[in-house]
Chain A
Amino acid sequence: MISSDVIRGYTDIIILYLLLDEPSYGYEISRRITDRSQGLYTMKETTLYSAFNRLEKNGYLRSFAGTETGGKTRTYYELTPQGHTHYQLKKEEWMVTKKVVDQFIK
Chain B
Amino acid sequence: MDAIFSYLDNMFAHLPKTEEVKRAKSELGQMMEDKYNQLRAEGRSDNEAVGQVISEFGNLSELAAELGISNQYQQASSDDNFVTVTDAEAESFIEKTKKSARLIAGGIASVLFGVISVIFFSGYAEGLFNPAVLLDGEPNKRFVAAGIALLFICVAFAVYLFVMVGIGSEKYEIFEKKMVKLEPHQKFVIQEARENHRPLLMRKISLGVVLILLGVAALSVVSILNENNEALILSAVCGLLVVIAISMWLFISGSMLQSAYDKLLNEGDYTLERRKSQSVMQRWAPPYWTLMVVGYLAWSFITGAWHKTWIIWPIAGVLFGLISAIVQASTPNKE
Residue numbers in A under 8 Å from B66 (CB-CB): 50, 53-54
- Give CA–CA (A12, B38) in the complex, Å: 25
Q: Which secondary structure dominates chain A's binding surface?
A: helix
Which of B55-63, B89-97, B242-250, B280-288 lies on the face that meets chain A?
A: B55-63
Establish whether residues A44 and B34, one from each chain, have CB atoms under 8 Å apart when the complex forms.
Answer: no
**Total A residues in contact with B, Cβ cutoff 8 Å:** 19
Q: How far, in angstroms, from A74 to B27 measured CA to CA in the complex?
A: 8
Contact in complex: A45, B38 (CB < 8 Å): no
Question: How many Å from the CB of B230 to the closest CB on chain A?
Answer: 64
CB distance from B183 to the nearest CB of A (A): 11
Q: Is A10 an interface residue (CB 8 A)?
A: no
In the bound complex, CA of A2 to CA of B32 (Å): 21
Stretch from A24-32, A88-96, A98-106 that touches the partner: A24-32
> Do B38 and A49 touch across chains, with their CB atoms under 8 A apart?
no
A58 interface contact, C-beta 8 A: no
Interface residue B141 (Cβ < 8 Å from any Cβ of A): no
By a CB distance below 8 angstroms, the chain B residues around A44 are 56-59, 62
- Cβ–Cβ contact A49 & B34, under 8 A: no
Whether B30 sits at the interface, judged by CB under 8 Å, is yes
Instruction: Tally B residues with Cβ within 8 Å of A.
Output: 17
In the complex, what's the smallest C-beta–C-beta distance from A76 to chain B, in angstroms? 11
Which parts of B36-94 form the interface with A (CB within 8 Å)? 38, 56-60, 62-63, 66
Chain B residues near A42: list those with CB within 8 A.
Answer: 56
A47 within 8 A of B: yes
- Do A47 and B30 touch (CB < 8 A)? no
One digit per residue, 1 when the CB lies within 8 angstroms of any chain B CB and 0 when it does not, for chain A 10-39 equals 000000000000000111101100000000
A46, B60: Cβ atoms closer than 8 Å: yes
Q: How far is the CA of A46 from the CA of B183 in the complex (A)?
A: 13
In the complex, chain A residues whose CB is within 8 Å of the CB of B275: none
| CB pair A46 B30 closer than 8 Å | no
CA separation between A47 and B24, bound complex, in Å? 12
Cβ contact within 8 Å between B27 and A26? yes
Return B61 CB to nearest CB of chain A, in Å: 8
Are B57 and A31 within 8 A (Cβ)?
no
Known: A30-B35, A44-B56. 11 other contacts (CB 8 A): A26-B30, A26-B34, A27-B38, A28-B34, A30-B31, A45-B35, A45-B56, A46-B57, A46-B59, A49-B27, A54-B66
